[in-house]
Homo-oligomer: A and B are copies of this chain.
Amino acid sequence: MEKYSSALDGVFVALADPTRRAVIRRLGQGPASVGDLAGEAPMTLPSFMKHVRMLESSGLISTSKAGRVRTCELNRNRFGLINDWLGDQKAIWRERTDRLEQFVTKEDKS
């Protein structure tokens, strides 16, 4: 149970901030430089960079530097982790529902 644990920690922490979700939303449309991304955020560059690094260490984005510009890109596959977790959770609900139905059926018989 609860495999992917530490990876999920990072992903959920990364998604728990509006600034970072905005970055992810923006990167959904394609890669962008740190400067471009920071332009939309109401904070100084060093502060914004911390968000970028957190997103990168969570695996949700990757970045690379060319010249003096660092470009950020979304790692779409990383979102599979959330999908899977959500799927697992729903599976548990389904099992329970099944057992409840079984229970109801048994009660009906007796």
Contact = CB atoms under 8 A, between A and B. Distances in A.
A81 to B, nearest CB: 11
B93 A86 contact: no
Interface in A1-48: 1-2, 5, 8-9, 12-13, 15-18, 21-22, 24-25, 28-30
Contact of A92 (B2, B29, B85, B89): B29
Interface string A80-91: 001101101100
Q: How many copies does the complex hold?
A: 2
A28 B86 contact: no
Interface of A: 1-2, 5, 8-9, 12-13, 15-18, 21-22, 24-25, 28-30, 76, 79, 82-83, 85-86, 88-89, 92-93, 95-96
